[in-house]
Amino acid sequence: MPDGSTSVIIQGKRRFRMKGIIETNPYLKATVHVLDDILPNTNMHEFGALVESLKDLALKIVRSSGTIPPEAQFAVKNIENATFLINFICNNTDLNAFEKQEMLELDDLRERSTKLLTYLVREVQLIDLKKDIQKKVKVDMDQQQREYLLHQQIKTIQDELGGNPSEQEIADLRKRSAGKKWGANVQAVFEKELSKLIRMNPAAGEYSVQAGYLETFLDLPWNVYSEDNFDLRNAEKILDEDHYGLEKVKDRILEHLAVLKLKGDMKSPILCLYGPPGVGKTSLGKSVARALGRKFVRMSLGGLHDESEIRGHRKTYIGAMPGRIIQNLKKAGTSNPVFILDELDKVSSDFHGDPASALLEVLDPEQNSEFHDNYIDLDYDLSRVMFIATANTLSTIHPALRDRLELIDVSGYLLEEKIEIAKRHLIARQLENHGMKKEDVKFTKEALIRLIEDYTRESGVREMDKQIAKVIRRVARKIAFEEEYSKKIGPAEIREYLASPKFSKESYEGNEYAGVVTGLAWTSAGGEILYVETSLSQGKSKFTITGNLGEVMKESAAIAFEYLKSHSSQLGLKPEVFEKWDVHMHVPEGAIPKDGPSAGITMATALASAFTQRKVKKGLAMTGEITLRGRVLPVGGIKEKILAAKRAGIKEIILSKLNKKDIEEIKEVYLKGLTFHYVENVSDVYEIALLDEKIKNPLAIS
């Protein structure tokens, strides 16, 4: 050949049968018996027709094939010898070696040609079938239709071969349904929907929708329940390990486990943990799941505004899917997980519907055994799911929904509790997150106190966790740069790593000025102290209120002023004095919005102090709502307000007498060092709060 290689063409001339091998080296040598082809003696016309048929079929195959060279047509046409023609076609036909060997062993030419004719007819039929398939799927071969063409060809081939994948899919669905523990009514619905799928054309758009519905139907854990762990000692140990404090919540969970253990089954109560951010409401759900040995799923409701997110869409809609309740159960794989409904107070509503109303069915123990999801279109039992809702405030929760919840107050932590949480959980977790060991860093108690008081202002521990992480990152940098550092973190190191303190400790500012009174307020971040300042200037009885106050707080100020004017004689004030002075009441930190009725008695005391120029008792704070008649009504957030008072160094607190029951529910450790005064009327507040001593340079009020 031109490239220097050698090409050899070998043409077989005679058939033979090997008798025995004589030599194998350097090549095979054997004794053989030459075989002759047997020509037919009779019916030569029939044999001739057979040979002509072979020639016609061979020519047809050559013309139809895209791989056989066209020159082969001339070769087949010009062969006159029947024996050579038969052997030539046998040799060049696209048959496997077994079939060729089978024909080679036939001595009778008629028999060999008949068998060859069978093979050629099969080959021609395959070629014709291929043409038929191509005709069925023939389309314009532009770029957009190329993919469609390929799919159609595959589908047509599958139909011709009898291996339709849709039939396999249906068989798989039926097989999976055999192992389900559902009831007879659910089985009947499944069979009905499966029959509907069988009748559908797989090419129809509805087929994939119906198949997806049945897949979801089978993925749901119908009557599949995990076994509860009723080792209450172990459950108590797990809850104590994961969370420091929160005794009321832990007791409630242990009570629930005790009832489950005794009865074996009960409709799960809907617990709602409410309190400021970062106190461990969501993570508590994981501990409950671990204690019970149940699966854990979490669903965030923050910003949810579409009812379909809860109930699902009807499967007739494009892109329909089940609601997130059903989706999470499918993810859990059991019908009794611990299900956290996070941020329940942040559910909103718009023209898509009211999700809070849809949650009524989910969270009502009397209804949720027959929860109806629009996509599944069948009742699903949620009665054994342990729902735990979390919220920062109860004021924005739908009243009907709140009525179905068992409310548990998860209030803020004391300084001592935060220190323990940091030592037990936060520091170890942050060291692990930053690739460090316990011996690399050790926080002293004084350092944690400084970090909590100067760099955080919260009821929870989330911000404290961030500040601890910041300190550990600074240490990690020193280790990576191989710099010297102190493994013992004290107050000095806290100041070095975190720079100047973010907050000054909430402290009582004294009672040197008349008209300044300390109040207690509740915020979503916990309790805080606030000051109500009142000043007088000569004028014509103008009353000004500033400090970014809401409508309720402005009304409290107006009520307090009207009460003072109508009861001025109790304080030795003449009625005409109010016509000679302008009053300006201000609540500091004006950039922060404030609202609520809790500052009612604080404002009343500030006004009384300003007009009488009498000092307010030192170390005193107060909270309570007032009425126009002077009654002091109870307010909420008592524990958070007490914590704020302790942080500020306040010793005495004035509360409504009706708040006494709230104080009795608080642990003794929170109340240590505090004295409580319970009042029924504003005049009682004046008597406790206002001293006979006046300021050194009293304002000449007459």
Residues designated catalytic: 598, 641
Token code pair at residue 426: 């936060």
226 backbone dihedrals φ, ψ, rounded to 5°: -80, 155
- Least Cα distance to 653 among 673, 676, 679, 636 occurs for 676
Token code pair at residue 631: 């009654």
458 backbone dihedrals φ, ψ, rounded to 5°: -160, 160
- Least Cα distance to 516 among 537, 536, 535 occurs for 535
Q: Are 626 and 583 in contact (CB under 8 A)?
A: no
Could you please report the per-residue DSSP string of 615-677? EEPTTEEE--EE-TT-BEE--S-HHHHHHHHHHTT--EEEEEGGGHHHHHTS-HHHHTT-EEE
Q: Are 575 and 541 in contact (CB under 8 A)?
A: no
Q: Which segments of 474-612 are extended strands (E)?
A: 488-489, 516-523, 526-538, 543-546, 581-586
Q: What angle do CA 180, 184, 186 make, to 5 degrees?
A: 65
Cβ atoms within 10 Å of 492's Cβ, excluding its own:
12
d(CA 87, CA 109): 9
Compute the residue count for the chain.
Answer: 702
Token code pair at residue 688: 């406790």
Q: Are 499 and 470 in contact (CB under 8 A)?
A: no
d(CA 208, CA 203): 9
Q: Are 54 and 66 in contact (CB under 8 A)?
A: no
90 backbone dihedrals φ, ψ, rounded to 5°: -60, -40
Q: Are 583 and 607 in contact (CB under 8 A)?
A: yes
Cβ atoms within 10 Å of 363's Cβ, excluding its own:
18
Token code pair at residue 132: 């038929």
Bridge partners for 106 per DSSP: none
Q: Exposed (0-12), middle (13-18) or buried (19+): which is 557, by Cβ within 10 Å?
A: buried
d(CA 540, CA 579): 5
Could you please report the per-residue DSSP string of 337-405? -EEEEE-GGG---BTTB-HHHHHHHHH-TTTGGGEEETTTTEEE--TTSEEEEEES-STTS-HHHHHTS
